[in-house]
Amino acid sequence: MSTEDLIETFRAQLRDDPDVASAVAAIRALLGFLRQDRGETIQGLRNSLRDAIDTLSRVDSSVAVSSGGELFLRFISLTSLEYSDYSKCKEIMIERGEIFLTKVSLSRNKIAKLCHPFIRDGARILTHAYSRVVLRVLEAAVESKKRFSVFVTESQPDEAGQKMAKALRKLNIPVTVILDAAVGYIMEKVDLVLVGAEGVVESGGIINKIGTNQIAVCAKAQNKPFYVVAESFKFVRLFPLNQQDVPDRFKYKADTLKTGQNLTEEHPWIDYTSPSLITLLFTDLGVLTPSAVSDELIKLYL
Amino acid sequence: MEKCMARPSAPPLPASRRRHLGPALPAMARPAAPPAPGPPRSAPPGAVALHPPRFAPLRPPRGRPALPGPPRPERCRGRARQRAPGVARDRRGGAAGGTGNGRRGTGPAGGAAGGTRERPAGTGPAGRGRGRDPGTAGPHRGDVTAPRGGAARPRSRGAAGPAGGAAGGARAAWRSGRVSAGPAPVHGDRLRDTGTGPGTRPGRAHAPIILGGNPEGAAPVPAGPQAPELSREEKLQLRKEKKQQKKKKRSEKGPSTESAELCAPPEAGQPRAAAQPTSPPASADGPGDSEKPAGGKSKAELRAERRAKQEAERAQKQARKAELSQAATTAKPRQSPTEPQSLVKRLPEHVQVDDPAAQRKLAKKLERQQVPLRQDYGTKVNLFSHLHQYSRKKPLTQQMSIPSTVIHPAVVRLGLQYSQGIINGSNARCIALLEVFKQLIRDYTTPPNEELSRDLVAKLKPHISFLNQCRPLSASMGNAIKFLKKEISCLPDTLREDEAKEKLQDVIDKYLREKIVLAAEAISRSAFEKINDHDVILVYGCSSLVNRTLCDAHAKKGHAFRVIVVDSRPRLEGRETLRRLVRRGIHCTYVMINAISYVLPEVSKVLLGAHALLANGSVMSRVGTSQIALVSKAYNVPVLVCCETYKFCERVQTDSFVSNELDDPDDLIVLRKGQAQLGGWAENKSLRLLNLVYDVTPPDLVDLVITDLGMIPCTSVPVVLRVKNVDQ
């Protein structure tokens, strides 16, 4: 499978199913890549998979694509491969890849099941930008006959908040779109903050659409719970100390990076929210405190 | 040792606080107290029956003193031969360590008896030591002295020569006595300590008793699987009884003929000598008693009360245990007594200096291991009375010689280097320790009829206690020792001795390479990612790891980052850091810790080393670190801690008080204008100096820990520990 084919498969996945997370699409593409790989050794296969992940993360700069790819690679090779026959090994790896994919596809529902009890009847929720997991959680809350209202930030520059508001209205949830600058104003009316994440880093902090950090700071200042919903394939081995420490490849769109222009002029698309501002993380591994994220990562990688 | 304070389930209370819990239960203490004096009086018949096995639990390792005659001398000779070169080296080692004078000076006295641990005064003990020599171990003496003399002669033929020779003989004799006759020498020492032994010829006086006791003591052994349980219960009972006797003795003051009668009717011919074996515990705390015989009346009473209460509790527990074990399956008679013991977490001795009982225990242990006990120095700040405080001017070896039969000269040297602060820093100390242990293993020969894996671990123990006396062990050393002990005891029996020794050396080398050298490299690499262009990095004190990281980053990138070295009195270790960094051409600024709030606004990262990482994520490091982390947090500067995983520790500590180290308070004395400020602090009753070594930084002040496994938040320490435990 050539690089172009890989990218094409990835894009096709995203086109065909707009509801799919980019990471899931990447994993599907990688699984296809694995099936068609004509290497002779496991080491060779690993290397070509690494290259494929690299290629994909250059197409989509989201943290989840690289973290999902890494975890996929880790998961399929985290088993005894002591067979003399290479094709047998590959078979096992493909099998495990499929298990991983089904697990990943199911994770959103699992999170919804875990998280919706935290939404009380009559709650006022603040959310940020567009997140499919948040949407799924709110949907689950509606299904369990809870009445609540949602404030969505407009989330410039791509106005993802409008998209979110539209999706919420479809679920018959009362929704108000607010300015990004109005977060501080609205915070006192809000019962809880619920955001998705592009990536969850080792410290237990999150990387998410720009503006998340200010919401977290506001929530902390007014003692409102700040909940994050994120699938475990978004866990990434990265430990930013502050905003400057987040690598550029995540901060800017892949297209912007390709042009090679001066990045100081460019606006970053994501920011880093430190773990001290986060109350809980809802993942398919369970409800975690920020410090437990690193524990899960250590268990996976050591 | 670390496990003693593991996990929040056993919050490490300072001993003083623990003892305050004591009087909280007077109701229990009162009723229990009256019967306490009772038993001894009614004891005689029972005591006689119980008496012989008393010795059995006292020397479980020498559980086969019933060895037939022939092997005994053989073993002695083996030991003597093995030690002889060691002794010769001892002197060399001492001289190299720069304490030759001290050692030689005390040589005669100390040498007089690997056993007399007493003021170097009397020629009496010395004479006795020599006198005992031919009697018990005459034949072997030649073995010992001959090679020694040869080796010693070219070096120093001073007073040490002959004295040492005699000492060696005495030692060998002593040694053989110990091997064959169990605890006799220990008792002998104690007798002499009390100074009550007019005409006690300890070795001889005891030999018959003990030898006579042996068969009886050994009797329970063939009794089958129930024997250990029995003996344990008996042991407990005996201990109780002993304590009561002690108490009675104290109240009566003076040697009681009653107790003599009470415990040894068979040896009625020597009532005194017979009385002595029962008294070791009494004489063990003899010094304390003799120091304040009259003044501590009420205190003694208090103590008695406390003890009575403890006994009552213990008896209750015992009864409950017995009930439980009976109610439970009789199929496992062995397990029931051991289980509750494993649940009880004991505090290490070095954090209960203010607890006389614990100290007595420690003294006893050291005496058994023939390791000198180091005396505390000066008054301590109240809050830290549970910690040791030693004077650098009084190293352990100056007070008395250390029998080189027990302590390897390289270890003596190492201990001195520790206590003098010549080897400093967690990594350096651990590396030095392992190198010395390598030498120790190289020089070790398994005595006949012993297994290497068992005997070597036992041999290491006195060395470790000696080093612990010189300076409390660091977490890194504790982990290394734990590792080494495990490796030794896991050695397969099939290995030949030289193979086993080879293997152990390799294992130590591997540990040094993987856990320290390669770990440092891995950390340096990870830390490199975090050092960016135009960073201003603040470092504190002297951490080998941080220095290496900075030097590597400078060499690799060669780009501009600046370092601010923060230093503090009294150690001024920052100067060493400064020297090393400036030599590499790194741009440095040097400030004292008072000035950190001034420099922090320009700092972009704080990079700290660590002594240990505790299981709750706290960072134990050089005192002052916590302050730096706190101020950095206030200025919102990220704090990075570099620490190898081998320094991770299962202990939990939330403050710097419970377990810490007190350095020599004299270090705080300043020379200014030719005048020593604080010089006479010891004379001033209302003045105390505190020279703390470590402090504990709470986990929320630390942003990131860089380890050889990568970067983790410090709350993940328990996970790493768990993963490591699974691996091992």
Domain boundaries, chain B: 356-512, 532-656+692-725
Find which of B93-97, B191-195, B399-403, B668-672 is predicted with most confidence, using mean pLDDT: B668-672
- For A119, the token pair is 């939404």
DSSP-assigned beta bridge partners for residue B697: B619
Over residues B656-667, the mean pLDDT reads 89
Cβ atoms of B655 and B624 closer than 8 Å? no
* Chain B partners within 8 Å of A241 (Cβ): 530, 605, 638, 640, 703-704
Query: Does residue A248 belong to the interface with chain B, where contact is any CB pair within 8 Å?
Result: no
DSSP states along B515-581: IIIIHHHHHHHHHHHH--TT-EEEEES--HHHHHHHHHHHHHH----EEEEEE-TTT-THHHHHHHH
- CB neighbours of A241 closer than 8 A, spacing ≥ 6? B530, B605, B638, B640, B703, B704
Q: B260: burial class by Cβ within 10 Å (0-12, 13-18, 19+)?
A: buried
Right CATH for A3-105 from 3.40.50.1390, 3.40.50.1370, 1.20.1270.360, 1.20.120.1070 = 1.20.120.1070
Contact list in B for residue A204 (CB cut-off 8 A) is 713
Mean pLDDT value of segment B4-10: 41
Quick check: A196 and A133 in contact, CB under 8 A?
Answer: yes
Asked whether the beta carbons of B496 and B378 are under 8 A apart, the reply is no
Q: Nearest residue on chain B to A238, judged by CA atoms?
A: B711
Q: Report residue B668 as tokens.
A: 């705080």
- pLDDT given at position A14: 83
- The mean per-residue pLDDT over the stretch B521-550 comes to 92
Under the banding of pLDDT at 50, 70 and 90, the label for residue A255 is confident
- For the domain spanning A111-301, the CATH number is 3.40.50.10470
What was the pLDDT predicted at B196?
35
SS3 content of chain A, % helix, strand, coil (to 5): 55, 15, 30
Residues in chain B: 728
What is the nearest CA distance from A213 to chain B, expressed in angstroms? 16
CB proximity A202 to B under 8 Å = yes
- The answer to whether the CB atoms of B720 and A302 lie below 8 A apart is yes
Which pLDDT band, with edges at 50, 70 and 90, does B326 fall under?
low
Distance from the A294 Cα atom to the nearest Cα atom in chain B, whole angstroms: 7
Residues of B in Cβ contact (< 8 Å) with A275: 713
Given a cut of 70, is residue A151 above it in pLDDT?
yes
Take residue A203 and report the two structure tokens written for it.
């410290």
Enter the tokens of residue B185.
């020498």
Give A293 to chain B, closest Cα distance, Å. Answer: 9
- pLDDT, tens digit, for every residue of B459-490? 888 899 889 888 999 999 999 999 999 998 88
Task: Work out the pLDDT band at B120, boundaries 50, 70, 90.
Answer: very low
User: What CATH number has the domain spanning B532-656+692-725?
Assistant: 3.40.50.10470
Model pTM above 0.95: no
Check whether the bond before A157 is cis (ω within 30° of 0). yes
Q: How confident is the model at residue B333 (pLDDT cuts 50, 70, 90)?
A: very low
Q: Which residues of B touch A295 (CB under 8 A)?
A: 716, 719
pLDDT score at B21? 39
The residue of chain A with its CA nearest to that of B638 is A241
pLDDT at residue B186, as a whole number:
34
Mean pLDDT of chain B: 67
Selected residue with higher pLDDT from A298 and B341: A298
B310 pLDDT above the threshold of 80? no
Q: What ranges do the domains of chain A cover? A: 3-105, 111-301
Whether B709 and A237 lie within 8 Å, measured CB to CB? no
- Report which of B427, B434, B414 is spatially closest to residue B510, judged by C-alpha positions: B434
Please tell me which of B236-250, B262-276, B616-630 the model is most confident about, judged by mean pLDDT.
Answer: B616-630
CB of A249 within 8 Å of any CB in chain B? no
Tell me the pLDDT band of B558, cut-offs 50, 70 and 90. low
A205 touches chain B (CB under 8 A): no
Percentage of the residues of chain B whose pLDDT score is greater than 70: 54
Which of A204, A241, A302 faces B638 most closely, judged by CB atoms? Answer: A241
Q: In this model, does residue A164 exceed pLDDT 90?
A: yes
How many whole angstroms separate alpha carbon A186 and alpha carbon B411? Answer: 69
Name the most confidently modeled range: B89-98, B252-261, B397-406.
B397-406
Cβ contact A245–B720 (<8 Å): no
Region of B95 please: left (phi>0), alpha (psi -120 to 50) or beta. alpha
Query: Cβ B638–A276 below 8 Å, yes or no?
Result: no
Minimum mean pLDDT range among A124-133, A260-269, B229-238: B229-238
Q: Pick the closest to residue B6 from B360, B703, B482, B711 (CA basis).
A: B482
Choose from A242, A293, A295, A300 for mutation: most chain B CBs within 10 A: A295
Interface contact B723-A302, CB threshold 8 A:
yes
* Structure confidence at residue B344 (pLDDT): 62
